Structure 1
Amino acid sequence: MAKQYVLTDAGLKKLEQELEQLKTEKRKEIAEKIKVALSFGDLSENSEYDEAKNEQAMVESRIATIEAMLKNVKLIDDDQLDTEAVNLGSKVQVFDVEFDETVEYQIVGSTEADPDQNLISDESPVGRALLGHKVGDEVEAETPAGVLKFKVLNITK
């Protein structure tokens, strides 16, 4: 059975937009690069042609990957999210004991994770540690950098 990809509505839209951009703009751009490279003549020593063909292969690979992912998407339904405990799709505000600061994370599937945007995977050490906890719980996450301690302050959709 194929792997199921868990996405929020925003994550699904982002993937669909990326697929559309790759299929329309990027394919045309690469086709033009190949056409220009072909005009240079001898393909045996044509690095522009090789580079364009490699880029084309990467784009086609990414298109195939996204299409396969979209066939096996499980969408997180915001209406069914429980704010009593941290779940996939929850936005959770925590107090980071080590850094003495409050941080808000959204727990998402691994496909959608982007730590720079505070979107953390349910498979990451911190995401996995937070799952199932309630407001007021103190949580320890075993990470490569050591044990991180958090206190759950708030859970929203």
Structure 2
Amino acid sequence: MSQEGYDKLVAELKRLESVERPKASAAIAEAADKGDLSENSEYDAAKEAQAHLEAKINDLKMTISQAKIVDVSRLSTDTVQLMSTVTMTNLTTHRQMKYTIVSESEANLKQGKISIKTPIAQGLLNKKVGDDVEISIPRGKLRVHIDGIAIEA
């Protein structure tokens, strides 16, 4: 993953632990003050929200602990790989597309960042500029011509 992606995950973890966790505890305490816990749906909802929050915190901790930060200065533009920004032309519609291949946790289609686990990314890996590639996607086949490969720091 990129350093930027890693930093965002660490910041999100800090926010969840320092802001959201105390809010969840306060919501449970407030609901508990309202009396009989056996019939207190507000208490049950607060406990469930806390459980979801703790699961999210644990997932983030696991992702961060297993993260490997990619040194983009050592990457090559010879072939498509993780962190490559690929410019390509759809051979059917002749429209140009541009995607950056990133880790799953950094994927954001609105920013043009696709997970390395997507069919498009998998179909592009190890391809070179000038290659015509046919990729199996859920809607059928996507045929593209690779116009350029860049590494954007």
- State TM-score, norm by structure 1: 0.90
Which residue number in structure 1 is paired with residue 110 of structure 2?
116
CA distance in 2, matches of 1:96, 1:45: 59
Give the paired residue count. 151
From 128, 131, 140, give the equivalent of 2:125.
Answer: 131
> Unaligned regions of 5+ residues in structure 2, if any?
none
Aligned to 2:76: 82
Aligned residue number for residue 40 of structure 1: 34
Give 3-state SS (helix, strand or coil) of 2:104's partner.
Answer: coil
| Aligned AA (1:44) | S
Equivalences for residues 132-147 of structure 1 within 5 A: 132-147=126-141
Quote the sequence identity (%). Answer: 36
| Partner of residue 18 from structure 1, selected from 12, 15, 19 | 12
Given the alignment, which residue of 14, 35, 47 partners 1:53? 47
| CA shift digits 1:4-59 (9 cap, x unpaired) | xxx11121112111101110110111112112111211111111111111111111
- Name segments (4+ residues, structure 1) moved above 3 Å: none
Give the superposed CA RMSD. 1.3
Which residue in the other structure is 2:94 paired with?
Answer: 100
Q: What residue ranges of structure 1 are gaps of 5+ in the alignment?
A: 1-6
TM-score computed with the length of structure 2 as normaliser: 0.92
Structure 1 distance, partners of 2:92, 2:10, is 38
Supply the distance in 2 between the matched residues of 1:69 and 1:46 (Cα, whole angstroms): 35
